[in-house]
Structures are given as C-alpha cells and as structure tokens.
Amino acid sequence: MTVQLQRFKMLVGGEWKDSSNGLASSILDPSNNQVIAEVPRATKQDARAAVDAAKTAFHSPEWRDMDSAKRGRILTKLTGLVRENSDELARLETMNEGKTLRESKGDVAWAARAFEYFAGLADKIEGETIPVPPRRLNYTLKEPLGVTVHIVPWNYPIALAARSLAPALAAGNTVVMKPSEITPLTAIKLGELAAKAGTPKGVVNVVTGSGSEVGAHLVSDKDVDGIIFTGSDETGKQVMEAAARNVTHVLMELGGKNPHIVFPDADIPKAIKAVKDGIFTNAGQMCWAGSRAFIHESIYEGFVRELVDKTAAMRIGPGLEDSTEMGPVASKSRQDIVLGYVKDGTEEGAKLLHGGKKPKDPRLDKGNFVEPTIFENVTGEMKVGSDEIFGPVLSITKFKTTDEAVTMANETDYGLYGGIWTSNLKTAHDVASRLEVGGVAINEYLVTFPQTPFGGYKDSGIGHENGIRALEYYTRTKNVSVNLG
C-alpha cells in the first residue's frame, strides 16, 4: 500500500514553522518502515525561540490575568476536540508507533479524559490561611511555575503528552513540548487542537527534533522554570544534571522492571490473561510492563503451560489490521536491542519457553516485529531479569514463600509498579505495603486514571503525574505575611 506523505510543521509562538535550517526528518511506519511523514528537524535556535515565545506568553496579560475558570473552559473545549478527532488521532498514533488501533483508541480516550479532569481543577487551585501569632494575617498563594518543558517518549505519544500538558495548562503555565523524534505526529496535532480550543499564542509550543540537540538545549535553558521528563533513567539522569545547573524543578517519570506475584489462591485464568496482556500490550513497550512474573511453586506448571499456549496463539501483525493482537516494536534499533536481550538471556542460562525471534511470516519481514517471548528460570543477576528490556519479553521465576517472592520482586533498582494476585486480603495488603514501588494493582493490572497519582520509587522517578497531587508540581507556593498591628 502506498501512503500519502504528510508534511508537518511545528508550532512556535502561535505560528506553524519549518526548522530554521530548512531540514526535515522522515517519520516511519514501524510495521513496514515506509516513510509516512516529514517533520521539521528543529535546531537549538528553534528550541530557544520556543522558550522565548512561551516566556512572552507567560507574562502576557491575556494568559497571566485570565480567569482560571476560563482556562478550565479552554481545557473542556480541548477535551471535546480530542474526542471529535479521535479516529484520526488513533490512526496516526498506530501508523507512527505501531500499536494496535484498539490500543490507540484507548490512549486517545485517556488523553481526552486527562484534559477533562484537569479542566475541572483549573479554578480549584487554592492557597491557605495559616494561624500565626495575633495581629497578623498569613496566607499562601499558589502560582504557576512559568515556562514548563515537556520531554515525551515514543511509547505513549498522545497519552503522555496530555498527561503533563493538562495539569500544566490548568495551573497557568506556558508549555514547550518536545515529542520523541520517532513519534511526533499526534503531539503536533495536539498543538493544533490546543490552538483551536483557544490557548493564546505561545502558550503551547511544539518543537520536533532530536533529544541530543533540541531536548538537551531545552532542559538547560535558563528561562525554563520546570521540566517534565518521561523517558529512560539513563537520559533522566542527564536531564537532572542539566537542570541542576539552573536549579530548575524536575518531575521524572522513568523506567520499570515491574513484578507480578501470583499466589495459589488467585483467580488463575484471570491472572494468566493479565500477565500476558501486561507484557505483550504495546509489544512490551510500557514503563509499567509486568516484565517479571513470580509464580507460586504449587501452581507453577499449569500456569506456565497455559500462559505459553495463550501467547503462542497471539496474532502478530500491523496495528491497523483488525485481527492484530500485538504490533511491531517502534523502531529497527528497538528490535535489535530486544533480540540482543534474548541472546543474552539464553547465554546467561535462562530457559526460552516461547518466541525470541523475528516472526517467520514473510508479510512482516520489512517491519520491526519480535515474537512475544517468555523465559523461565530467570534470576535477578541476569540481564533479562534486571534490565528494562522495553519489548515483549517476560521473565518467569518460581517461588516458595511470600518473603522470598517479596525479596526477589524488590531486587531491582526500579520501583514503578507491581501486581499482586490472591484472594486473601491479608496477603494482598501485606505484600502491597512491602513492595518498593509507587503503584500496586491487586487482582488486575494496570490501573491508572487521570485522577490517581502515578510515579516511581527508587530509579523509576521523582514526583507524581495524575491526580490533584500532580498540581503541586505545576505550581509554586508563595507565603504572604501581613502585619495588622
């Protein structure tokens, strides 16, 4: 199938622009590596111009003095626009990222819901009055941070762009968004919809370019007041170093190596389905992927047999095809990295139970497909048991006692999410409190709503997105003391 090549521009100061040096980058469909679009390859100068535009917009009375209820109405309008355009957005997401259309539709719906949720909070960001010794009035003002830079990864392009854009706008910040260089299309569309919804010029800017040039400039620009970084822990550490030089606020949403713990009293068919979906959704490219499964020895054999059978029956193919259950990984380099980990796992002594190769189907030859892969006998010392593979690779380990399972689950530098499977309330809550993670799901996996905090412990991040708590990050607190004597 030949695809109509789309040419996109980027949004800076309310204008649709090419890169200042005229260069563009090709955007590929990961299911066949055909070029589907071209986007401007922004330069440092373009990044600087975007920060400048956001700074000017932040100080403009049109935005600064806007009634917070009106900001809420703009976000409500944006919610409606995302919903009206959901078919186009979902299609674009699938063509660019590779995930199934059903998943993309879910992501677009999630993005709309994030705008809806924060629309309702825009006029409820309140300070407090504080009792102090007599004849004084003491209160706090909650003020926006200023210019916020949003660095977005490629695995959930629209959902993660919305996750930080919504609270940033609700709190009155102005935004420079840099989507991933490989999946920028829906973020550009989101910029277009934000403008249509009534955000004044310069309030939302979208620059498309590389992490090493544009991203690195944005996170070290002195005029930036807050950075929201979602990506790998390796890049996150570089971003924190750059931010430290200007004492810029950071919110870090990083990687995970998330455990499921399945006890013998669990609803086993439900747990098998969730363990499978928790690693093979989006071809395993989720920070929250349940990439390690600890299964109790008394149910181990039957559980693993059934899991492997169900995995073997999965239909792999292009995300746009209705029958597809798992699409490709997002890039050729990701495919190479995942297959490299499979080789490591085999050499380290883990037993490959299923997958581990490119699929044989010649129809899929040109795409970045990897079979859904399952290893058993994995330990925390092996790369497959400790590194975030960010692909469709599950590691299974048998356990005897609860203590042993919790110890192995915590034996990682990451601490993002965990799944517990049991019908015993005491076990469920006891293990939930002992897992060193920022979020736990009991008898389902994963559960995240725009209203529930999401963030990592340990190397998985700093701070929280989602929920009222997220607004803490997007605002700063000023204390005012008035002498009434």
Helix (H) or strand (E) holding 311: helix 300-312
C-alpha span between 188 and 205 (Å, rounded): 9
Determine the residue type at 401. T
Burial (CB count <10 Å: 0-12, 13-18, 19+), residue 20: middle
Cβ of residue 365: shortest distance to ligand NAD, in angstroms? 24
Cβ of residue 235: shortest distance to ligand NAD, in angstroms? 3
Cβ of residue 281: shortest distance to ligand NAD, in angstroms? 13
- Annotated active-site residue 15? The verdict is no
Cβ of residue 333: shortest distance to ligand NAD, in angstroms? 10
Helix (H) or strand (E) holding 162: helix 157-170
Residue 392 near residue 283, CB atoms below 8 Å? yes
Pick 167 or 172: Cβ nearer ligand NAD: 167
C-alpha span between 261 and 403 (Å, rounded): 11
Cβ of residue 429: shortest distance to ligand NAD, in angstroms? 24
Burial (CB count <10 Å: 0-12, 13-18, 19+), residue 61: exposed
Determine the residue type at 417. Y
Going by C-beta distance under 8 Å and a sequence separation of 6 or more, which residues neighbour residue 1? Answer: none
Cβ of residue 329: shortest distance to ligand NAD, in angstroms? 11
What backbone torsions phi and psi does residue 400 show, to the nearest 5 degrees?
Answer: -105, -55
Angle between helices 300-312 and 268-280 (to 10 degrees): 50
Pick 154 or 263: Cβ nearer ligand NAD: 154
Going by C-beta distance under 8 Å and a sequence separation of 6 or more, which residues neighbour residue 255? Answer: 232, 233, 287, 388, 390, 414, 416, 459, 460
Pick 149 or 308: Cβ nearer ligand NAD: 149
Instruction: Say how many CA atoms lie within 13 Å of 350 toward its Cβ.
Output: 30
Ranked by CB distance to ligand NAD, the top (closest) residue is 211
Cβ of residue 137: shortest distance to ligand NAD, in angstroms? 40
Where are the extended beta strands (E) located within 182-283? 204-206, 226-230, 249-253, 259-262
Footprint on this chain of ligand NAD (rule: CB under 6 A): 151-156, 160, 178, 180-181, 211-212, 215-216, 219, 230-232, 235, 238-239, 253-256, 287, 388, 390, 416, 456, 461
Residue 476 near residue 143, CB atoms below 8 Å? yes
Cβ of residue 157: shortest distance to ligand NAD, in angstroms? 10
- Annotated active-site residue 287? The verdict is yes
Instruction: Identify any residues that bridge with 442 across adjacent strands, giving them in sequence order.
Output: 420
Among residues 253, 371, 376, 465, which one is catalytic? 253
Name the DSSP letter for residue 315.
P
Among residues 38, 97, 181, 287, which one is catalytic? 287
Pick 180 or 422: Cβ nearer ligand NAD: 180
Tokens of 439: 């979020």
Pick 203 or 251: Cβ nearer ligand NAD: 251
Pick 152 or 204: Cβ nearer ligand NAD: 152
C-alpha span between 449 and 215 (Å, rounded): 28
Residue with tokens 């919504």: 166
C-alpha span between 365 and 32 (Å, rounded): 8
Pick 71 or 178: Cβ nearer ligand NAD: 178
Pick 263 or 417: Cβ nearer ligand NAD: 417
* Catalytic (active-site) positions: 253, 287
